Amino acid sequence: MKKTILITGASSGIGKASVKKFQAEGWNVIATMRSPENETELNELEDVLIAKLDVQDQQSIDKAVQAGLAQFGRIDVVLNNAGYGLLGTFESVAKDSIQRQYDVNVFGLFDVTRTVLPYFRKQKSGMFINISSVGGKITFPLTSLYHSTKFAVEGFSESVHYELAPLGIKVKIVEPGSVTTDFGGRSLDFQHDTNLDEYNDFVGPVMESFQALMDPAKSSPSELVAEVIYGAATDGSDQLRYRAGADAEQMLSARGAMSDEAFIDMMKQQLDIK
Ligand SMILES: NC(=O)c1ccc[n+]([C@@H]2O[C@H](COP(=O)([O-])OP(=O)(O)OC[C@H]3O[C@@H](n4cnc5c(N)ncnc54)[C@H](OP(=O)(O)O)[C@@H]3O)[C@@H](O)[C@H]2O)c1
């Protein structure tokens, strides 16, 4: 029987590449996004249902899940992909921006998961694939809020997998490294209040070093991440974590072999932090 995947954040990047990959492999796809009216490409694909879903809006989650079930009869996999990055000094960020970062990256993922869980429980099968990041395992400076959401995704996914496995429901975590998507542009929100001038000597040089370190040649295309996601969905294994990209493999292996102090020293050296 044809399988069905529901994907959040399917308007661009990893989400869109995943829609194309699963569709090309013969799956039904519920491609969800905040603004389906802007979509021009995915509507052309057979067995792809475009549905409106804002992870901050429970009603839209309910409607998209119902529309998907009505169209395809079942859901086999949910790809929790929607997310964005908040950067800057923690003290500068307004409380509502912190709330939004958590609403999208963490509570949105919880809400989509809780909406689909009753169906998975009844059908005694299903899989959640949660998009974390290398940044769910290691941290860079000036990214405390984003990292804390991805660490939350990692901890949540690993723990909840214990209680769901006996019900026939799998949980998988995909950890991309740097991926050439809109994430670094439209999905990154940098906030620093330069009036907090004690931070300025730190922020300027670190942001410059970041730019220098960002080598597009070392980034992976979103199609590569979609391949890893497809592998996670179909390999039949109980593997929990999947790294996506050569940089992810390299950074996470290096981190695993280092003490906290050695890692922090290396980070400071690379970013030229005193
Ligand atoms: N790019 C990287 O280097 C990288 C590395 C590691 C992990 N990741 C993770 O990969 C995931 C996808 O990011 P991407 O790189 O593919 O960036 P992207 O192209 O900017 O995609 C982000 C997606 O999230 C959606 N989104 C944002 N807020 C939403 C909301 N409230 N409800 C529903 N959808 C929402 C965006 O939709 P709109 O079009 O409506 O804005 C967009 O489709 C994210 O979870 C990100 O943290 C990315």
Q: Tell me the pLDDT tens digit for each residue of 148-206.
A: 999 999 999 999 999 999 999 999 999 999 999 877 777 788 899 999 999 999 999 89
**Residue 181 has what pLDDT?**
81
Report helix, strand or coil for 212: helix
Q: Tell me the pLDDT tens digit for each residue of 39-64.
A: 999 999 999 999 999 999 999 999 99
| Percent of all residues in the chain with a pLDDT value above 90, rounded to a whole number | 88
Q: State the closest ligand 1 atom to the C-alpha of 132, by its place in the atom list counted from 1.
A: 7
**Residue 53 has what pLDDT?**
98
Range 145-148, long-range pairs (CB < 8 A, 24+ positions): 145/86, 145/90, 145/93, 145/98, 145/101, 146/85, 146/86, 146/87, 146/101, 146/105
Higher pLDDT, 231 or 213: 231
End-to-end alpha carbon distance in the chain = 59
Give residues (CB < 6 A) around ligand 1.
Answer: 8-9, 11-15, 33-35, 54-56, 81-84, 104, 108, 131, 133, 176, 178-179, 181-183, 186-187, 222
Taking CA atoms, 58 is separated from 18, 81, 104, 121, 134, in Å, by 23, 16, 12, 20, 28
| Percent of all residues in the chain with a pLDDT value above 70, rounded to a whole number | 100
Residue 150: active-site member: yes
Query: In this model, does residue 67 exceed pLDDT 80?
Result: yes
Q: How confident is the model at residue 124 (pLDDT cuts 50, 70, 90)?
A: very high
**Residue 184 has what pLDDT?**
73
CA of 14 to the centre of ligand 1 (A): 7
Strands (E) across 126-237 are located at 126-131, 169-176, 179-180, 188-191, 220-221
Closest residue to atom 39 of ligand 1, CA basis:
11
Beta-carbon-side half-sphere exposure of residue 114 (alpha carbons within 13 Å): 10
CB 211, CB 178: distance < 8 Å: no
Q: How confident is the model at residue 108 (pLDDT cuts 50, 70, 90)?
A: very high
**Residue 96 has what pLDDT?**
96
CB 267, CB 198: distance < 8 Å: no
**Residue 209 has what pLDDT?**
84
CA of 93 to the centre of ligand 1 (A): 20
CA of 82 to the centre of ligand 1 (A): 5
Q: Rounded to an integer, what distance in angstroms lies between the CA atom of residue 128 and that of residue 117?
A: 9
**Residue 163 has what pLDDT?**
98
Angle at which helices 13-24 and 222-234 cross, to 10°:
50
Instruction: Single out the catalytic residue among 132, 157, 178, 219.
Output: 132
CB 19, CB 44: distance < 8 Å: no
Q: Rounded to an integer, what distance in angstroms lies between the CA atom of residue 212 and that of residue 245?
A: 20
Q: Rounded to an integer, what distance in angstroms lies between the CA atom of residue 80 and that of residue 106?
A: 10
For the chain, the structural domain boundaries read: 4-270
**Residue 247 has what pLDDT?**
93
**Residue 98 has what pLDDT?**
97
4-270 is classed CATH 3.40.50.10260: no
Higher pLDDT, 251 or 215: 251
> Over the Cα atoms of the chain, what is R_g?
19
CA of 227 to the centre of ligand 1 (A): 17
Q: How confident is the model at residue 142 (pLDDT cuts 50, 70, 90)?
A: very high
